[in-house]
Amino acid sequence: MKIRIATLAVTLGAIPLLGQRTSISLNGEWKIADSMAAEPAPTTFPAAVPVPGLVHLSKPAFPDVDQFDSREFIDASIREKKMPEAARVDHAGNTRQQRTYFWYRRTVSVPTRGTVAVLRVGKAQFGTAVWVNGVAVGEHRGCFSAGIFDVTKAIRWEAANEITIRIGAHPAALPVWAPAGADYEKYKWTPGIYDDVTLHISGLPVIESVQTAPRIDASEVLIETAVHNPSAQPVRFQLSQKGGSQSAELALSLAAGERRTYRQTVKIPQARLWTPEDPFLYSIETSTGGDSVKTRFGMREFRFDTATKRAYLNGKLYFLRGSNITLHRFFEDPESKDLPWRRDWVRKLLVDYSKRMNWNSYRFCIGPVPDMWFDIADEAGLLVQNEFFIWNGRERFPPYRAQELITQYSEWMRDNWNHPSVAIWDASNETAAPVLRDTVIPQVRKLDLSNRPWENGYSTPTGLDDPVEDHPYLFSAFYSGRSFDMTQLERMTGAKTTNAGHPSGHAVIANEYGWLWMKRDGTPTLLTERAYEKLLGPNSTASQRWELYAYYLAGLTEFWRAHRNFAGVLHFTSLTCSYPGVKTGDHFLNLDTLRVEPNFDGWVRESFKPLGVYINFWQPSLAAGSRRNYSIMMVNDEGKPLSGTLSLAFERDGTASTRTETPFQMNAYGQHTWELSLDTPAQPGAYLLKAAAAATGEPTISRRKVDVR
């Protein structure tokens, strides 16, 4: 159910008004061509390409699309002794294709006459320049935010218009000081207009942006509207908000060419709060009489608290459980095709799959998603850590200009701040950059009236209650020539200094862990070959690897949750690319149907249930007929007490050989450890040591494989 709250209605003097905005979708097939030079535009366009989409979807295909060695890839290759030191570059990287630009062209008829025409290119990489009817109307450097172009002077009203959009064919088409994405493990850099393109026709004044900021204690929403009068004469108007029984009015005026921002508050009596469990959405219509915008939002507030090291949703304790989506790596996958722009496919991923896995959160990692993804996340009830596309580790930070970063971060926030699913701004991944910490974040965070928390890679937090990220990759020990064994977890508490390299007293999110990735064919990735060779030997099968991966990943998830040192536990990764040479992987066997590897579904899904269970035992074998105590750690992520029965048994072929049980009670958001004594079966063989906690509905299960000798 969507509820209208308010309407901002404006009456202008003698200026012609449309009453509301007319929006024309320019999604669909465009003609496409390439060039080395920035101008002039090509005279022939030999191929067709979908918008939104990427150039590798063009028919016929262009040779060598996305072939580009980025600065970060070169640095990583030098570190890994795959390239000589002489290969290092200070610019964005080296292209391996005979082009610098791609050009899109299509014709659109404008069905109505307006006062203002604005073209919005949702997201395009790498850089955007626009011509309408041969007239240059502007350029936009951002790759992760919308390019907005006033095309009024070039438009032909009630006639056909030729629109031409030029984008860079690779990151080096942009100035070296402008961010175009930074990722050590990304091999393909595919250009394209990868979000919606829309032509907006309106009267005056024009609404440039609307920001909604819920105030749940007061049961109201603060609305900030940026309005522009691009005409050569002043306009007078009445700004009114109305919806339901609520209304407010202001008499206002704008001088010729003036921009102003107005704030108003609308009461929402007995507001229904947005949560992952009840993702209720409101909508508001903002109108200036000549222009109008509908904005959807949720009544929700999200924050961290340094004193308790916890996250709070709508004033209540809340634990994040989830995963990561690295969409721009998924763009590299030969099987990704047009899947990221199919609404039914994205809904199946974000709604059906996430709910089955018991996830309430995601990090959209090192690369933004199309706007549609956030719309669906709002409806699904997902809390998203929204990350800007920068990963530079502790090495050379690119020569980005501070002001360019401020501009692009501001636009990125503007495009996303009305989504209730956007809970955390994430400035970077695993990066320690003083310019982000000291200059960019302090400057842009005040733009967000909801005051969302900021997370900034491996830098110290900028805000008193900002969180930090931790990436406890225990199995990465094999990559560096060391080792790790799951029995070590029995002696660990899960408490550690964060990867940021500083002792942080702030709340911590474990938003990456695992390091046992495989490609979809069941072979290890470049980062995990040594791990599987040490864990299973040189001749292991794909079946053995998938089973071990799921078993250990479930155990790690149980472990990080049980010790309660993290405000959130998000595994890496739910969606990425899979082809020879990649370093990470996901768990899908079929992308079209989103068929998940069965072991992952069977083991890891249990480990993310709100009632968490962890057997603190990892010994591979036990003596037959022996008796010992087992520590069973439990957590309750729900805001209500739970009670039921906790059982522990040795099972073989689904039948319990020995078994014990005890009643349990858990406080809301609580944790507790039970000590249960159990006899080891007298009959040797392979068993499952299984703990099951049943409160209401389906029990939560933790299992250990034990060889009884």
- What is the domain partition of the chain in residue ranges? 2-19+203-297, 22-199, 319-492+509-610, 612-708
Which range is least confidently modeled, 241-255, 388-402, 457-471? 241-255
d(CA 223, CA 284) in angstroms, rounded, equals 10
pLDDT for 497: 57
The yes-or-no verdict on residue 648 having pLDDT over 60 is yes
Q: Which of 82-86, 247-251, 370-374, 669-673 has the lowest mean pLDDT?
A: 247-251
Helices (H) then strands (E): counts for the chain: 11, 43
Tell me: the pLDDT tens digits for 101-115? 999 999 999 988 999
pLDDT value of position 502? 60
Instruction: For domain 319-492+509-610, give the CATH superfamily.
Output: Glycosidases (3.20.20.80)
In 3D, which of 453, 429, 423 has the Cα closest to residue 441? Answer: 453
C-alpha–C-alpha distance, residues 130 and 140, integer Å: 9
What is the pTM for the complete model shown?
0.95
Q: Return the structure tokens found at 306.
A: 């340094």
CATH of 612-708, one of 2.60.40.10, 3.30.1360.120, 3.40.50.300, 2.60.120.200: 2.60.40.10
- Does CATH number 2.60.40.10 belong to domain 2-19+203-297? yes
Angle at which helices 598-607 and 542-562 pack, to 10 degrees?
Answer: 10
Query: Helices 542-562 and 529-536: crossing angle, nearest 10°?
Result: 100
Tell me what pLDDT residue 425 has. Answer: 98
Domains 22-199 and 319-492+509-610 are alike in CATH topology: no
**Euclidean distance between CA atoms 497 and 605, whole angstroms:** 28
Give per-residue pLDDT as tens, 264-304: 998 999 999 999 999 999 988 898 988 999 999 999 999 99
What is the distance between the alpha carbons of residues 631 and 688, in angstroms, rounded to a whole number?
16
For residue 126, cis peptide bond before it (omega within 30 degrees of 0): yes
In this structure, which topology does domain 22-199 adopt according to CATH? Answer: Jelly Rolls (2.60.120)
